[in-house]
Amino acid sequence: MAQEKRRIVYVDAGQNENKEFQIALFDPDINLTSIVKLINIDNNHIAEKYAVINAITYIKSKALKKTIILCDNEQAVRDGHIVNLCEKHKIKLSWIPREINIIADKVAKLTPTKKDDTFYTIDFIYDLIFPKKIEETQPKKVETETVKNNKTPQKPTKA
């Protein structure tokens, strides 16, 4: 019995001519390219993580087996949250040199093929994986009246 071939998915992030970050996914087995414009993302390392999360979502939605994601950003490939997610879903993740990731790099600069709702789905998943720090999500403290002599402040009385 022939062994099932490993499926390769290339990902990359880049900036378009308007300096907006976009992510690309390239699946050479079916010659599929997917480009998503990122909204309010201004950091390449974060954009690369979005690209990997997009690939994980793609792989799971297509029920692909024996899949490897190839990415040219070491920080994204070594991120503990992403590594754990890939292990949980039996997806391999590997770093490749930028010069091997030429197609995904070029694709990341093209016109997006996906609508903004695709970004919002990926953004939601990103927020689940990388929760914001508690200080960023807690309401700011409001100054209250100072208690003097260990007495509770009294409510004003009606005159």
Which pLDDT score, from 0 to 100, does residue 1 have? 57
Structure confidence at residue 130 (pLDDT): 87
* C-alpha Rg value of the chain to the nearest Å: 23
Q: What's the CATH architecture for 7-132? A: 2-Layer Sandwich (3.30)
Q: Do residues 12 and 76 make contact, with C-beta atoms less than 8 angstroms apart? A: no
Identify which of 65, 70, 121 has the alpha carbon closest to the alpha carbon of residue 97.
70
pLDDT for 82 equals 97
Q: Where are the domains of the chain?
A: 7-132
pTM for the whole structure: 0.77
- Pairing of the two strands 7-15 and 21-27: antiparallel
pLDDT for 158:
56
Residue 153 φ/ψ, nearest 5 degrees: -60, 140
User: What integer pLDDT is reported at residue 136 of this predicted model?
Assistant: 47
Question: Token pair for residue 18?
Answer: 């308007």
Please name which of 105, 106, 108 lies closest in space to residue 35, comparing C-alpha atoms: 108
How much is the pLDDT for 139? 46
Residues sharing a CB contact under 8 Å with residue 79, sequence separation 6 or more, in sequence order: 49
The Cα 19–Cα 41 span in angstroms is 11
**Residues pairing with 13 in the sheet:** 23
Q: What is the mean pLDDT of each run of 10 residues along the chain (159 residues)?
A: 83 92 96 94 95 97 96 96 96 95 88 87 89 54 46 52
Q: What is the pLDDT of residue 145?
A: 46
pLDDT at residue 141, rounded to an integer: 47
